[in-house]
Amino acid sequence: MRSYSSRSNRRPALRRLRHLGIALTVGAGLAAASQAAQDEAETAATSDLFLRANKVIVSPGKTVDNMGLLVRDGRIVAMGSELTAPEGAQTIEGEVICAAFIDPWSVAGVDPSSARSDRVDTSTRATDALDPYGQDEVLEDLLESGVLMMRVEIGRAASLSGVGAVIRADGAEPVLTDAAISARLNAPGLDPVSRVGEVDRLASTLGGAKKYADDVAAYERDLKAWEEEIAKKEEELTEDFKNAKKARDKKVKEAEEDGEEFKEKKYEEDKRPKAPKYDAEKASLARAVGGEVPMVIHVEEALELRELLRVTRPFTRMRMVIAGGRSSLLFADELAERGIPVIVTPAPSSPGGAVGEMDPGFALAGELASRGVEVLIGSGATSPVASRDLPLLAAAAVGHGLDQEAALHAITAGPARVFDLQSKVGTVRRGLHADLLVLSGDPLSSSTRVLASISGGKVVHQAGN
C-alpha cells in the first residue's frame, strides 16, 4: 500500500523532469532557468501546511478554542486564533487537533525473530532490527489509527535485552536511537526461590555495571590529574632548561678532568593510570544505572516486584520504569514516592491468581493514577498489530476509572517525558516537531475518526485519500 505522503512527495520531482524536457526541446537556457525558479517557488509554497480546529489540545488538560497552526520544515512555526493560511499552503481542518499517540511498549516495525530472540545483550540495538518493508501494512494501519510513534524493544525471551528506540510509524524512521534498556522478570514455571533469585541476579548485574562505571570515572579523574601533573613538570623543565644545561656541561667537564664517566640522571615520569578493560555490555547497562537512559523492567507478580523495589533502592540515579505491573497496586505508595512510572496494558483481570496477588484488570490504570503513580498505556510488546489498538486501550482504561486527561497523558505527553522526547513531541507547542492528529471529535471517543495524521511535518494519512 502507498500512503498519501508518498504520492505527494513525488510531485515536485515529476514537475522538475517535465520542465527539463521542455527546456531541452526549445533549447532555451534562459527559459529553463526561469522555469526552474518558478518550480522552486511553487515547491516552497506547497511545503507549508496549515491546520485549523475548533479545539486544540495543547497538552492534556489544557485546550484552546478555534486555533490555527502553521507547519513548515517539519515543525510548528506559528499558532493563533487569528492565524490564516499562507498562499499555496495545504490546508486541513477538523474538530480537534492533538499530539500524535505514542506507544511506549511496542514491537511494531521490528523484525519478528529479533523481537522474540534470546540471543541479545545490553549492547544490542533495536535500530539494527527495524523492518519497515516487512511490516508496511501494519505501519500503514498505525498511521490511520493515529499511533505515529512507538518505543520498540527486542529480545523478549532474554532476561536482559539491548538498547530500545523510539521510531515513527512512517517508514520505521528512528526518532531516538537510545530510548531505554529493557529487562524481564516474568519467567513462567519457576518456584518462588528461583523467582527471587532472578531478581537478585539482576541486582548483581546492575551492581557490576555501577562498579564498572565508577572504575571508568575514577580512571578519567586520575588521567586528568596525571596529564595536569605532566604538563606542570614539562613547564618547569622548560623554564629551568638553560640553568640545567649549564650545570650539566660543568659536571661533564669535571668528570672528564677527573677521568671519570659522566652518568646521566634519568628522569622518572609518573606512571600513567591504567584504563579498565572495555566491556560493551557493562558500558551500555551503566548508562541506565547512572540515569542517562531509562531502565524498563517487565515484571508482573507481587513476589518479584517487592524484591525488585528492595534491591534497587541503592541505585538512586536509575530511572526505573515498570512494564506490565499487574500486581503494582500493592506497592503504589512506594512507586509514587520514588517516581517510578508504570506502563499498563489494560486487560481483563485474571481470576484464581496466587495468594497475595492483586489483579485489578482494566481498573489498574485508574487505581494507580488515583494513588499518585504516573501511568503510561502501552500495547504490551507482544504483537506488531497490537499498537493499532492503543487509543482503544486508553478508552477502556477511562471506562474503568482513569481520568480522561490522565489517559491522554498516558499515550502522548507521558511517554514523551519518560523517554526524553518532551522537547520534540507529546504536546502542541510552537517550535516542536509537527507530529499531530486532526480528528473529527475527542481523541478517545469511539466514534472519532482520524481525519489526518501528520508525522514530522508530512501528511502521512488523510481520510478519503
CATH number, residue 120? 3.20.20.140
Between 73-87, 102-116, 184-198, the lowest mean confidence (pLDDT) is in: 184-198
Mean local confidence (pLDDT), 263-284:
78
Q: How much is the pTM?
A: 0.83
Give the H or E element holding residue 253. helix 241-257
Band (pLDDT 50/70/90 cuts) for residue 359 is confident
Grid cell in block for residue 163: 538498547
Evaluate whether residue 379 is within a structural domain: yes
Between 351-360, 374-383, 396-405, the lowest mean confidence (pLDDT) is in: 351-360
Evaluate whether residue 441 is within a structural domain: no
| Residue 341, domain extent | 101-207+279-425
The confidence score (pLDDT) of residue 357 equals 60
Q: Over the stretch 76-85, which tens digit does the pLDDT of each residue have?
A: 999 999 999 9
The confidence score (pLDDT) of residue 201 equals 96
The confidence score (pLDDT) of residue 253 equals 67
The confidence score (pLDDT) of residue 352 equals 53
| Domains identified in the chain, total number | 1
Higher pLDDT, 355 or 333: 333
Assess contact for 48 and 90: CB atoms under 8 A: yes
CA 333 to chain centroid, in Å, comes to 27
How does 177-186 read in b/e, with b if 16+ C-beta sit within 10 Å? ebbbbbbbbb
Evaluate whether residue 337 is within a structural domain: yes
Strand partners, 125: 163
Mean local confidence (pLDDT), 53-57:
98
Residue whose C-alpha cell is 504536546:
427
Evaluate whether residue 239 is within a structural domain: no
Q: Over the stretch 131-158, which tens digit does the pLDDT of each residue have?
A: 999 999 999 999 999 999 999 999 999 9
The confidence score (pLDDT) of residue 250 equals 66
Q: Is the pLDDT of residue 28 over 60?
A: no
- Kindly write down the DSSP assignment for every residue of 257-312, as one continuous string: HTT----PPPP-PPPPPPPPPP-HHHHHHHHHHTTSS-EEEEE-SHHHHHHHHHHT
Strand partners, 437: 98, 453
Band (pLDDT 50/70/90 cuts) for residue 13 is very low
Higher pLDDT, 152 or 9: 152
Q: Which amino acid is at 291?
A: G
The confidence score (pLDDT) of residue 298 equals 97
Evaluate whether residue 360 is within a structural domain: yes
Between 20-29, 174-183, 328-337, the lowest mean confidence (pLDDT) is in: 20-29
Evaluate whether residue 13 is within a structural domain: no
Evaluate whether residue 132 is within a structural domain: yes
For 184-187, the CB contacts below 8 A with 24+ separation are 184/156, 184/158, 184/159, 184/160, 184/297, 184/298, 184/299, 185/159, 185/297, 185/298, 185/299, 185/304, 185/308, 186/298, 186/299, 186/300, 186/301, 186/304, 186/324, 187/159
Mean local confidence (pLDDT), 64-74:
97
Assess contact for 398 and 83: CB atoms under 8 A: no
Q: Is the pLDDT of residue 400 over 70?
A: yes
Q: Is the pLDDT of residue 188 over 60?
A: yes
The confidence score (pLDDT) of residue 231 equals 83
Band (pLDDT 50/70/90 cuts) for residue 170 is very high
Distance linking the first and last C-alpha atoms of the chain: 12
- Kindly write down the DSSP assignment for every residue of 353-408, as one continuous string: PPTT----GGGHHHHHHHTT--EEE---SS-GGGGGGHHHHHHHHHHTT--HHHHH
The confidence score (pLDDT) of residue 40 equals 46
Q: Over the stretch 405-438, which tens digit does the pLDDT of each residue have?
A: 999 999 999 999 999 999 999 999 999 999 999 9
The confidence score (pLDDT) of residue 348 equals 84
Q: Is the pLDDT of residue 27 over 80?
A: no
Mean local confidence (pLDDT), 280-289:
95
- Cβ neighbors of 38 (< 8 A, separation 6 or more) are none
Percentage of the chain lying above the pLDDT 90 cut = 72
Mean local confidence (pLDDT), 90-107:
98
Strand partners, 94: 53
Ramachandran region of residue 443, left (φ > 0), alpha (ψ -120 to 50) or beta?
alpha
Q: Is the pLDDT of residue 262 over 60?
A: no
Q: Is the pLDDT of residue 176 over 80?
A: yes
The confidence score (pLDDT) of residue 112 equals 93
Evaluate whether residue 357 is within a structural domain: yes
Q: Over the stretch 225-255, which tens digit does the pLDDT of each residue have?
A: 988 888 887 777 666 555 556 666 666 666 6
Assess contact for 428 and 443: CB atoms under 8 A: no
C-alpha span between 412 and 405 (Å, rounded): 10
- Cβ neighbors of 224 (< 8 A, separation 6 or more) are none
Higher pLDDT, 41 or 458: 458
C-alpha span between 138 and 143 (Å, rounded): 9
The confidence score (pLDDT) of residue 360 equals 86
